[in-house]
Amino acid sequence: MGRPAKFGEDRILDAALAVTAEGGPSAATIAAIAERLGAPSGSLYHRFGSRDLLLATLWTRCVRRFQEGFVAALDAGDAVAAALHTPRWCRGHPAEAAVLLLHRRRDLATAWPAELAGPLDALNARTADALTAFARRRGVERERVVFATVDVPYGAVHRHLLDHRAPPPEVDELIITACRAVLVP
C-alpha cells in the first residue's frame, strides 16, 4: 500500500484559490501556488499536469459549490432563497466568490482543458434545468426568473466584491424587493 499524498487535490486547490482571490488569475502561477502550499512545483504538475487544468478544476469546484445551494432553493420552489443565495454565499465564501464572480472562465485557463468540458457542461445544464423547471411550475417566463434570481443578485454583489469587501446585509432586502416585483404573476 502506497503512502497517502502529502499534497492532495483539495489542498492544492485551496492554495490556488487563495492566490487567485488575492492577486487574480495572472498571479496564480504554479510557482506561486506551490509556494503558498509549501510544496514542490512537481507535486502540482503530478496532480494536475498543467496550470490550465489546475485553474479550470478550481473554477469548476467553485461553480459546483455555488450552484448546490442555488439549485436546491429553486428545486424547493423558493425564488427568494435562490436570489439570496448569491449575497449569502459571497459572505460565507469570499475567496470563492472573488474567483467565481470577478474572473471569467477564459481569464483562468488559456486553453480550457477538454477533460473538464463535460463536468462543467453538466453543472450548467443542471442549473439551466432548475431555472426552466421553476419557471414552468410557477407559470412565469424563464427570462424573468433568470433576471430575478441571477442578474439582480449578481449586480448587487459585484461592486462590493470589486472593492474586496462582502456585500452588506442591506443588499438582501433590495434583492428580495426586486425578486418579488419581477416575479409577480
CB count within 10 Å of CB 116 equals: 16
Q: How far apart are CA 33 and CA 18, in angstroms?
A: 9
What is residue 6's predicted lDDT score, i.e. its pLDDT?
A: 74
| Torsion angle of the four alpha carbons 164, 170, 176, 177, in this order, in degrees rounded to the nearest 10 | -120
- What are the residue boundaries of the structural domains of the chain, listed by start? 52-182
Whole-structure pTM value: 0.87
**486553453: which residue's cell?**
111
The predicted-structure confidence for 33-67, as pLDDT tens digits, reads as follows 999 999 999 989 989 989 989 998 998 899 999 99
pLDDT tier for residue 117 given thresholds of 50, 70 and 90: confident
- Contact predicate 33/44, CB 8 Å: yes
- H-helix or E-strand containing 92? helix 79-92
User: What DSSP string runs through 39-75?
Assistant: --HHHHHHHHSSHHHHHHHHHHHHHHHHHHHHHHHHH
Q: Of the candidates 34, 13, 17, which has an alpha carbon nearest to the alpha carbon of residue 25?
A: 17
pLDDT band at 100 (very low <50, low <70, confident <90, very high): confident
